[in-house]
Structure 1
Amino acid sequence: MKSWGRLLLFFLLLVVLAACNQEQSASSSSADRKNTAAEPVLWLVKTTSSDGMIGDLYVKYGKAEVEKMASDVSVGSQIANYDGTKVLFLDN
């Protein structure tokens, strides 16, 4: 009976620690979003293939010059994160 009590106490402690960890990470990520300045970000794809399915990926931050990020990117495969600072894409 004593071992069941210890086991139950261990699992309760584990659940409490996991809940505190999730709460802390959620609050820190929302604080990060509030502290970052909103700078306009524009992701562009210029097609380079005859069928229009492959192109070069460019990015423009605020008033900065357009910068080439990648070549041979599949058009329509880009997914930006919540603030547009990072993008996932498929290349050939």
Structure 2
Amino acid sequence: MSMELLQALADAEMPLEIVNPAVHEELKILHAAGHIICSFPPTGTIQPAQVHMVTALGHKALSGRVGALHEKARRSGQEQVGRERKGTLDPC
């Protein structure tokens, strides 16, 4: 889920306030990993966390994720082509 949140943050306009305390835990993970710059409300208060930016490291993590997804799709396509050539592709 954190990578999906990181992608959503990368697509959002900054600064961004996050009110949901459940999301604050994920923000803390991304912040600790150096993927975002974020400020948090004092513990025990119900105030929004403020995301200031997605860092270069965060963008790099996302680009690596996209690259991995493209590679997975490429390999999946090659496997499908191989099955078609062998006649083992299940017709729908």
Task: Answer whether TM exceeds 0.5 for this pair.
Answer: no
Tell me: higher relative CO, structure 1 or 2? Use CA pairs within 8 A at least 6 residues apart: 2
Q: Given the two structures, how large is their TM-score scaled by the length of structure 2?
A: 0.35
Structure richer in strand, relative to its length: 1
Q: Which has the larger radius of gyration?
A: 1
Q: Given the two structures, how large is their TM-score scaled by the length of structure 1?
A: 0.35
